[in-house]
Structure 1
Amino acid sequence: MASIDSAWFHQKLADRGASLRDLARFMRLDPSAVSRMLNGERKMSADEQDQIAGFLRVTLDDVAQKRRGGIAGFGEDKQQPYDAEAIAASPQPSGQKMFTEADVIYREGKRWMETEGGELLELHPMFGCMKGTMTIPDDLDLTAPADPDWGKVYEDD
């Protein structure tokens, strides 16, 4: 069973001056079911998560995070969370050359790319495999609705 931050839920109940029985009454559940849920012995459903957030007067994100016992998102997979400020503050490489189709070298039936040091690297077959599969006409507005009548419930007269 996932580790839930039980202490956080009990603290929020105390901050509100409510008991576990008050929460159970609000949710129309048996107090033992709510106790098992907040102790991690029973899973919390999405509907129960919504009810708890409403009762505790906290955001749904807070309850979702605390029911997992830790941070949500990429951090769960040991990937660093996205930090826009750090990225904006980090020095950006200037004059970095982007690799294009014009840089491909064809030899011996294979495709290669030359590094700045002159070394040839074989390209993965995935590179360029989708080229030419989609053409967007110049007069196509990609921001326009695909079907202007979508969601229309009445006729214009």
Structure 2
Amino acid sequence: MTPIDTAWFHRQLDIRNQSVRGLARFLRVDPSAVSRMLKGERKMSAEEQDNVAAFFGVSIEEVAARRRGEAPGFSETKQEPYLAADAARKDEPAMKMFTQADVIYKDGKRWMEAPDGRLLELHPAFGCMAGTMTIPDDLDLTAPIDVEWSDKLYNE
């Protein structure tokens, strides 16, 4: 019937040590209705969406995207989600960032080698913007602009 990210909903239940029956009690509906809803055999109402978000402690937008089977942003099931707390670690040295020179072409796919030697498949968006912008060598991006930006934008 409708695409739904069933795995995500069941992961949320597992994280909270809850069951479909527990969610059904919270929503005040029959457990079979929740089961059919999580399989995509029954549509989730707007009120149910709001209550599911409250039950999981996530945003309504997250539940809305997942009920349509959409993962927000560039996230993939093979990729760990970005956590800001991980990026702010002060005790670890800065990571070496991948560049185009590090790309390994193998079996028709693009890969990069992790520090431990594992090959990581690149996301299709990696490098997609390369060459789309040229900044002249004499342009100082940190220098203040001498005219009002709107005048320059609209009058030139």
**Greater Cα radius of gyration, structure 1 or 2:** 1
State the TM bucket, normalised to the shorter chain: 0.3 to 0.5
**TM-score if structure 2 supplies the norm length?**
0.46
**TM-score if structure 1 supplies the norm length?**
0.46
